[in-house]
Chain A
């Protein structure tokens, strides 16, 4: 089970009214390498992975939900007060027609989220290598969004999220090290 804390992992501030940024950010909401995909990937793979790394997948999967919430907050702030005209200018007219200002799990191009974005191969190494790749892809996505955004406060939040992807990739790499370790051999650091 989970215990919900009614606050964000990191404060989300957006200082400019630029709904176009919401269109980019939605990539990390419902895109292939987004936070939803990440959370569901890890929280599902953890059932069939060696005990030593189950906790890692639970922890990171849970943190991804906290990231999802941050992205949702950013998108919401950028769109809640936008007029249909502004949304149109931002390229969000198709989104508005279907969803008004509601959030939805799709990527920056409007393609809805699908479970085919994630995998559970049941092979611990294959799954962890997928997880490492997913983290590096999410890190790259944050870089591209930062490149497209000139909102300093938003970028501050995005930089935090990107840093977390670096840490997640590090921990997944360590998980591989744990699983590949030979039995009865002394550990050297």
Chain B
């Protein structure tokens, strides 16, 4: 399998004017990993798929803001 969030630690100078962000994250969406979609992948139930924006579980990768993460603790 694959992960859809990556992190790196940018250089921090002792003379940075603002409090440094020590870890930066970026998104690597599922479409980077799957190639041509193989047959018979697991699906969401139809009603759920309409809500989620995809029928295919492998491509579902929701994004939550840091604000939402702090409040709900879900997301990735």
Q: List residues of A whose CB falls within 8 A of some B CB.
A: 10, 136, 139-140, 142-143, 146-150, 152, 155, 159-164, 166-167, 169-170, 173-174, 177-178, 189
CA of A146 to CA of B52, assembled, Å: 16
CA of A142 to CA of B64, assembled, Å: 10
B60 touches A163 (CB 8 A): yes
Number of A-B contacts (CB under 8 A): 71
Residues of B within 8 A of A189 (CB): 36, 38-39
Q: Which bucket holds chain B's interface residue count?
A: 20 to 34
B53 touches A150 (CB 8 A): no
Closest Cβ of chain B: how far from A154's Cβ, in Å?
11
A-B contact pairs, 30 of them (CB 8 A): A10-B53, A136-B29, A139-B29, A142-B63, A147-B67, A150-B65, A150-B67, A152-B68, A155-B64, A155-B65, A159-B53, A159-B63, A159-B64, A162-B53, A162-B63, A163-B52, A163-B59, A163-B61, A166-B29, A166-B30, A166-B61, A167-B53, A169-B31, A170-B30, A170-B31, A170-B59, A173-B31, A177-B36, A189-B36, A189-B38
In chain A, what residue has the closest Cβ to B75? A159
CA of A10 to CA of B52, assembled, Å: 10
A146 touches B36 (CB 8 A): no
Q: Please report whether the interface of chain B is mostly helix, strand, loop or mixed according to DSSP.
A: loop
Query: Which residues, 4 to 56 on B, are CB-close (under 8 Å) to A?
Result: 27, 29-31, 34-39, 50-54
Question: Which 10 pairs from chain A and chain B are nearest by CB?
Answer: A163-B53, A170-B31, A160-B53, A147-B65, A169-B31, A189-B38, A177-B36, A146-B65, A166-B29, A174-B36
Closest Cβ of chain B: how far from A11's Cβ, in Å?
10
A155 touches B53 (CB 8 A): no
CA of A166 to CA of B33, assembled, Å: 12
CA of A10 to CA of B61, assembled, Å: 18
B31 touches A166 (CB 8 A): yes
A177 touches B35 (CB 8 A): yes
Kindly list 19 other residue pairs between chains A and B, CB separation below 8 angstroms, not including A167-B31, A170-B34.
Answer: A139-B27, A142-B63, A147-B67, A148-B65, A149-B65, A152-B68, A159-B64, A160-B52, A162-B62, A163-B53, A163-B59, A163-B60, A163-B61, A166-B29, A166-B31, A167-B53, A169-B29, A170-B31, A178-B36
